[in-house]
Amino acid sequence: MYKGKVRDVYNIKNELLVMVASDRISAFDYVLPKPIPYKGAVLNGIATKFMNLTRHIVPNWIIATPDPNVAIGHLCSAYKVEMVIRAYLTGHALREYKSGKRILCGVELPEGMKENDKFPEPIITPATKADEGHDLDISREEIIRQGIVPEAEYLQLEDYTRKLFAFGTNYARERGLILVDTKYEFGKKDGKIMLIDEIHTPDSSRYFYLNEYEKNQSAGLPQRQLSKEFVRQWLIENGFQGLEGQKMPEMPDEFVREVTDRYIELFEFITGEKFHRFDENNRLEEIEKNVSSYLEQIE
């Protein structure tokens, strides 16, 4: 069993992974002090939907979702890079741009851009997967030079990344959203590249509202987002960016409820389905029962 920042992952006989999406929330590589009710179910539901919708683009790891908070799938050997793709100048890319950088992960950034401007075309800015601490920006050339991913396989990861992002972009636009940026993770099983982890969730992606984008951009106003970025902004405003000596601020209950509402809003926007707020009491016992029942059926 491996306990990540927000998920608990169980290895079953080196064949299957049971991934439990908790309600924990992280930012700047720190787990925040209070969980966000229903967050795990929202992420698991969105990720499962998109995994099923994109199987024609790339095979993926998911086999079943026996509980709102649980996905069960193939155990894969994960690549040590995250494939980050960005269509707009925001978030980490914006912070780097404001610091004066004009090359990000080997990709040249145009001069004269302002916050939330659209890139001429989406850019891929990979990051190395750190076992602990911060993931680090890295270029395609360095990934290949260091042998982190063989060149032919890395080029395949880039191709899958662009195709998945194009699919997600079109899907979001049909529902009145802009898929701003996201990350994908890949692994291998029996020599086959597979999409792993999650896809197009508010933890791995950023969304703007389509009908407000041009108006806000022209007026120099902030874009309203459906993503975890507003949690990061709240932390920054309260003096925390994960830097040494900084103290994690206390999250008011009202803010926790607001975060829950944002996550559920995105679920309903992106899936077109109503999210049902189930009874959160005895969730651990329920999860264990549902997972055990599924595993007994396939033994």
pLDDT at residue number 131: 59
Range of the domain at 96: 2-298
Amino acid at 10: Y
* Pure H helices in 134-203: 140-145, 151-174
Tokens read off for 288 = 């264990």
pLDDT at 299 > cutoff 80: no
pLDDT at residue number 129: 76
Tell me the whole-structure pTM to 2 decimals: 0.89
pLDDT at residue number 118: 98
pLDDT at 255 > cutoff 90: yes
- Give the model confidence (pLDDT) of 263-281 as tens digits: 898 899 889 899 999 988 8
pLDDT at residue number 133: 54
Query: Taking all residues of the chain, what is their mean pLDDT, rounded to a whole number?
Result: 93
CA angle 229, 272, 84 (to 5 degrees): 35
- Tell me the CATH number at 229: 3.30.470.20
Report the domain count for the chain. Answer: 1
Tokens read off for 264 = 């559920």
> Counting runs of H as helices and runs of E as strands, what totals does the chain give?
8, 18
pLDDT at residue number 134: 62
- Give the model confidence (pLDDT) of 104-121 as tens digits: 999 999 999 999 999 999
For the segment 80-101, the average pLDDT, to the nearest whole number, is 96
pLDDT at 285 > cutoff 90: yes
Cα–Cα distances in angstroms (integers) from residue 184 to residues 69, 83, 218, 249, 292, in the given order: 20, 5, 31, 30, 29
pLDDT at residue number 13: 92
Helix, strand, coil percent content, the chain, rounded in steps of 5: 35, 25, 35
pLDDT at 130 > cutoff 70: no
Please list the residues that pair with 82 across neighbouring strands: 127
Are 38 and 46 in contact, with CB atoms under 8 Å apart? no
